[in-house]
Amino acid sequence: MKIALFPGSFDPVTKAHVDILKRALPLFDKVVIGIGLNSTKAAYLNLEKRKEILRAVFADEPKVEVQTYEGLTVEFCKKIDAKYMIRGIRTVSDFEYEKAIAQMNHALAPDIESIFIVSKPGYSSISSTIVRDIMRNNGDVSQFIPKEAVNLL
Annotated catalytic residues are 17, 41, 90, 128
Q: What is d(CA 103, CA 116) in angstroms, rounded to the nearest whole number?
A: 13
Residue 57: what are its φ and ψ, rounded to 5°?
-60, -40
Return all residues near 69 (Cβ < 8 A) that are at least 6 apart: 7, 34, 35, 36, 37, 76, 79
Q: Which of 12, 118, 10, 128 is nearest to 67 (CA)?
A: 10
